[in-house]
Chain A
Amino acid sequence: MNDLRELYQEVILDHSRNPRHFREMPEANRHADGHNPLCGDRVTVYLHLAGDVIEDVSFKGAGCSISTASASMMADALRGKSVDEVRALFDRFHDLVTSDPSHAADQLDASSELGKLAVFSGVCEFPMRVKCASLPWHTMKAALEGAARASTE
């Protein structure tokens, strides 16, 4: 179960059981719906942008523990960040979960800014679950860019 514990770290399990920022946001000025047609996971990400800064983030939806925890921790991480910072974080998170597992440690070193999000480093060992972790991020990016929809396909 060692490898499995790398995927299902306690922090991830905790966020999946008790997701933070799990609510609709009527005052949101950006939102997008994300869908993974392969597994049916759905997430809606709400953003409240004040100028260049993300003042608030929330999400709703139904998904597996990885996508729920990813959305929850993403929302934690994005609050108060500028759009540029968010874009940079998106790229680093994307690199982390899609990296070649044999180079995962390098990614982790290079991504110290990821902070708590580094717990998702185990995901790259599970190719079938990468999209679970990245769906909320793609959806957030779509919301940021004014697209209504994001899909993992």
Chain B
Amino acid sequence: MSAQPDSIRTPEALDVAAVRREFPLLQTTVHGKPLVYLDSAASAQKPQVVIDAERDVYERYYSNIHRGVHQLSVLATDAYERARARVQRFLGAREAREILFVRGATEAINLVAQTYGRRNVGAGDEVLITGLEHHSNIVPWQMLCEEKGATLKVAPIDDAGVVDMAAFEGLLGPRTRIVSVSHVSNALGTINPVERMTERAHAAGAVIVIDGAQAAPHLAIDVERIGCDFYAFSGHKVYGPSGVGALYGRAALLEAMPPWQGGGDMISSVTFEKSTWAELPHKFEAGTPNVAGTIALAVAIEWLEGLGLEAVAAHEDELLAYGTELLSAIPGLRLVGTAPDKAGVLSFVLDGVHPHDIGTILDYEGVAIRTGHHCAQPVMDRYGIPATARASLACFNTREDLDALARGIGKVQEMFK
């Protein structure tokens, strides 16, 4: 691929054609049309190397981890712990024991709510979130607040989908114990100013949890630079397997937190009278985890980093700008979420056509998008709409994908004119 003028700032532009060849599903057709996959914000497709990695574990060295003395268990344990070190570097964490493997960002947030939250939030205390959040960053806090008699506060967003920082700061107070915000909004694509939010949360004496599910595939993450206390992400959105993800937690906080689930692997000793807890990170990893999936997650991260996170971000930003222009030119189409700082998401509504009908007709054109409330009903309520159609971008998307989307929208309008 020839270098484009706007990609000069990256050392090496992404070779998208080569990237696409690595994804078996991108070579398939849907309803007789080549698949145009614009639903990576829901879940990304997987490159061959990730699919192979998972199979490789089962074919060559699968075993349970942290248990056996036999050769396979040693190999599997070693690969699993190397995966932890890989995630540590990916997030910029200081220590590998600050990385807990979980099922995904949802479980990570629930873990914080049920351990740190239950221990540190009491009656009359407050938890602060934003109006952009996914249900997975709302409901765990509602459950906690209900249990403890605490109050959930919500920093509002403006018409563009940007958090009102004055309101955010105004809602921080002496009773704020936890602040939990998305790094990137899944429904609108807004990038939150997480460093500033962290600084303000800390100034108010609260800890901050960052839901990075939507950020991890698009932005280089550095938890030390952000300064946050917890950071959650899901493997399946960074081209890894579903059912694995990670929670970063500051070591001092994790050490002081009670365990979450009890079971094997998380104990130091067990008697019927009393058990003592294992060291970090094992204290939070009861039971046999998704061994092969976790190892494959590390391969996915390595693969993504191999493409160059900057090159990926530059490519996706260019596509976002192109798609924004393309869709904005369609009469009767309104983009929902127009923050100046955005990543990877084009959410929109069409006059006179429900998003579900858009989704069905686009599907017939081979174009896969998400339609509905995107597990962010309060965001929809904010705009007074039941749902949007959302096209989301990944490293393997092209301008042609967006052209196919625009053509498909033309067919939708033709059908419903």
Partner-B contacts on A (CB < 8 A): 1, 3-4, 7-8, 13, 17, 38-42, 62-66, 68, 126, 128-129, 132
Q: Which residues from A are CB-within-8-Å of B353? A: 65
Flag the segment in B6-14, B42-50, B372-380 that touches A. Answer: B372-380
Find out whether the CB atom of A129 lies under 8 angstroms from the CB atom of B356: yes
Q: Return the chain B residue nearest A7 by Cβ.
A: B360
Closest to A40 in B: B386
Contacts of B411 in A (CB 8 A): 1
Q: Beyond A62-B386, A63-B354, A65-B354, is A40–B360 a contact (Cβ under 8 Å)?
A: no
Known: A1-B364, A3-B364, A13-B416. A132 touches B356 (CB 8 A): yes
Residue of B nearest to A61 (CB): B386
The answer to whether A4 touches B364, judged by C-beta atoms less than 8 angstroms apart, is: yes
Tell me the residues in window 334-355 of chain B with beta carbons closer than 8 Å to chain A beta carbons: 352-355
Q: Which residues of B contact A66 (CB under 8 A)?
A: 356-357
Nearest chain A residue, comparing its CB with the CB of B356:
A64
Q: Does B188 sit at the interface, judged by CB under 8 A? A: no
Q: Is the CB of A8 within 8 A of B386?
A: no
1/0 contact string of B386-408 vs chain A (CB within 8 Å): 11000000000000000000000
Chain B residues close to A by CB (< 8 Å): 31, 352-357, 360-361, 364, 371-373, 377, 380, 386-387, 411, 415-416
Task: Tell me how far the C-beta of B209 lies from the nearest C-beta in chain A, rounded to whole angstroms.
Answer: 26
Q: Are A40 and B373 in contact (CB under 8 A)?
A: yes
B residues near A38, Cβ cutoff 8 Å: 372
Is B416 touching A39 in the complex (CB atoms < 8 A)? no
Once bound together, how far apart are the Cα atoms of A63 and B360, in whole Å? 14
For B373, give the chain A residue with the smallest CB separation: A40
Task: Give Cα distance in the complex from A115 to B357, angstroms.
Answer: 24
- What residue in chain B is nearest A65 (Cβ atoms)? B357
Would you list 8 pairs from A and B whose C-beta atoms are within 8 A, ordered by A residue? A1-B411, A13-B415, A13-B416, A39-B386, A40-B377, A40-B380, A66-B356, A68-B354
Contact of B372 among A3, A39, A65 (CB under 8 A): A39
CB pair A129–B360 under 8 Å, yes or no, is yes
Q: Which residue of A lies closest to B377 (CB)?
A: A40
**CA–CA, A66 to B94, complex, Å?**
53
Question: Complex formed: what's the CA distance from A65 to B358 in Å?
Answer: 10
Set of chain A residues within 8 Å of B373, measured between Cβ atoms: 39-40
Complex contacts, B380 vs chain A, CB 8 Å: 40
- The answer for the CA separation of A17 and B416 in the assembled complex, in Å, is 9
| B415–A41 touching, CB < 8 Å | no
A4–B416 CB distance below 8 A? no
**Are the C-beta atoms of B371 and A39 separated by less than 8 Å?**
yes
Given A13-B415, A65-B416, do A126 and B360 touch, yes or no (CB 8 Å)?
Answer: yes
- Write out the residue numbers on chain B whose beta carbons fall within 8 Å of the beta carbon of A128: 360
Known: A4-B415, A13-B415, A65-B354. A40 touches B372 (CB 8 A): yes
A63 vs B364: C-alpha distance when bound (angstroms) = 21
Once A3-B364, A4-B415 are accepted as A-B contacts, the answer to whether A64 and B377 lie under 8 Å apart by CB is no
Closest B residue to A1 using CB positions: B364
A150 to B406, CA, bound (A): 36
Chain A residue at minimum C-beta to C-beta distance from B415: A8
| Min C-beta distance of A123 to chain B, whole Å | 11
A3, B365: Cα distance in complex, Å: 12
Neighbouring B residues of A65 by C-beta, 8 Å? 353-354, 357, 416
User: CA separation between A66 and B361, bound complex, in Å?
Assistant: 13
A63-B354 Cα distance, complex, nearest whole Å: 7
